[in-house]
Amino acid sequence: MRKLLYVMLLVIPVLIFASVGIGSAAEPAIFNFIIPQVVGVEISTDPVQWDFGNMPGFPPDPFSFPAYYEPTTPPNRPHQTIDYLVWGFGGADWELMVEGNGDPAPACGIPLGDIEYLEDDGVGGELTAWVPFTTSGVAVKSGNANTGGWAKMYQDYQVNITGDEILTGGSTCTITYTIQSL
């Protein structure tokens, strides 16, 4: 009986270790990644203001139209920082659009087309020509790959005074930036 007990004590561990394995074993772990598609745009500076009541050189000489005026607030270039993001689209096309809220005259006092923008390099150097705002979207940036995180675009603004402006007392015009995948 003792002999049988010794044999069982030797055989049972061998059977247990043989079924588990003493050398090496492998079992795969499956990782599943779900990366969402994300687009974003953020305006990170204060509203832009033209205070013509305190602006040097306004009103312009009647014979010097058009006259161009930069905002009084903020006082330094670049006037607006636009942060934008495209992520998770791989090779999909995208564009950053800008448009005005409609021709604001006479509510704003200045026709929308007399408000202009250009892209700035961030230190005051102009990268594009002046473009008038419109009610239909205009692509200011586009691409076909991720932006690699948040990217920056700087825009400067000016008003083209042509003589057809209307007296107002603190009116506003809204400019909208939209980023979309195509």
What are the strands of the beta sheet with 94-100, ordered from one edge?
Answer: 138-143, 94-100, 175-181
Tell me what pLDDT residue 131 has.
Answer: 94
Q: How far apart are CA 156 and CA 129, in angstroms?
A: 11
Average pLDDT over residues 22-36: 88
> Domain ranges in the chain?
37-181
153 has a pLDDT exceeding 90: yes
pTM of the model: 0.75
Question: What class has domain 37-181?
Answer: mainly beta
Q: How far apart are CA 17 and CA 101, in angstroms?
A: 76
Residue with tokens 């599943």: 32
- With bands split at pLDDT 50, 70 and 90, how would you rate the model's confidence at 97? very high
136 has a pLDDT exceeding 80: yes
For residue 9, the surrounding DSSP H or E stretch is: helix 2-20
